[in-house]
Structure 1
């Protein structure tokens, strides 16, 4: 019998690939210099405006309210947004019903410090839209989006960035299963892997990343080796 899928599983599956997308968004906004955002929810458009313009299509996941102390999924928002705006949140809810994950199906959820990022990570796995963006919509209220656009596609993987992404993503405290997160990242990045006990090797275009796990299954070390394309 297969183990039921949980919210933690989805968060682990998203962790490193999601972090890399967020880092890529930061790189893009740094190229814009000083910038501002312009959002039109009903038109499903988010633009970042600076030295140039980064235009994206958005989907509204949900919103958080410090006053109410809750997360409200977009599909349950009483503001009456167009169905296209909240379609991603509906996909997440349907997935949650299929797998019995209540956090993805309940319209309103009590807020905890890491709830919004965990639900966003899970939604990324379900929707395959990997970049998130949030903005303040009033005192104590924040709107959480997923955004997409050609410029948000990741560049080819490389060894130094992969080491940095994995190391930084582990600091946010969301990853519970390090091995699952690593193997999910390798799958999403289409990297060949070779597992040997407490070691997993990832083959990148210009080298090999060796990741070792401690007795508790946590990533304990990473080492990179630059190799020629003909090396296995």
Structure 2
């Protein structure tokens, strides 16, 4: 029998086409072990299945079965195709984890160049729309780009005029040097994924630091 949590997890997994135990253990479940145990039951029920990745530390990815994809069609959702490339796994894990927790604060839309490129100057990883209507451009950074690329990105972001540009990094120790490396922009805030989770859990706010605080 599927629980409400199972159904929400299925819909969430469909947004990205795949998910990972490190994500599920920090979002829908209290730990990765509990996530693994529940996913094992759902595999036996043919709700989800595993596919191998080429990353030993990550292990396998969790994807929806054809039967579950048919269920999504029945409730009016379009099944997402599974991306079989593994070069962006670390980015995917942080992006999905941030997506889950930011959705506690407002409506989160995962963006893509294919869907948003024609109408936006710059396409961030996600857009968080707050209850006030303010838009937060969310960027997940697992590796640093060349400074020239950020100059071009920020020029385009200014034209979009978001309320905040939120950069989410893997580790707290990376924040200070990254914030100083970016072009100066008063709307930039920076946070690591662990602090983001803790802040949303305990205060209901992101509370990321402004760039000028570094």
TM-score for the superposition, normalised by structure 2: 0.28
TM-score for the superposition, normalised by structure 1: 0.27
Structure with greater proportional helix content: 2
Structure with greater proportional strand content: 1
**RCO higher in 1 or 2 (8 Å CA, sep ≥ 6)?**
1
